Amino acid sequence: MACIKVSGPLGERLIPEGLDGVVTGKRIDEEIIGVSWDCGPHLQNEPEVERQLEGAGIPWGSAIAWATAAVGIQKCTACKAREYILNHAKELGWAETFRQIRDTFK
């Protein structure tokens, strides 16, 4: 299986190519730097930050809410919805999580 190599602020990682050849899972702050034709055991599905937060028992949504509050950004209703969605990303799966978050911007 082919994977797309991306690089961003959190380092480099591999994203598996979708069944229809579409790259899903690339974040806005990442750029495509190449292709790996053998994802094998090197496939990195979670950025290092996500593993660290999970190890500390801190949900993604709560971590982002804390950081935005620390810099003075007030929560709106959509922000609270995004916090809840991100805190339940494991149960939802990443595709559904991204779909729900995208819907909060409508």
Residue ranges covered by each domain of the chain: 3-42, 48-103
- Report H helices in the chain: 48-56, 60-70, 77-87, 89-92, 94-103
Per-residue pLDDT for 20 more than 70? Answer: no
pLDDT value at position 77? 87
Residue 4 has pLDDT above 70, yes or no: yes
55 has a pLDDT exceeding 80: no
Other CB atoms closer than 10 Å to residue 75's CB: what's the count? 12
pLDDT of residue 93 exceeding 60: yes
Instruction: Specify whether the CB–CB gap between 26 and 15 falls below 8 A.
Output: yes
pLDDT(44) > 70? no
For residue 37, the cross-strand partners are none
104: buried, middle or exposed (CB in 10 Å: 19+, 13-18, 0-12)?
A: middle
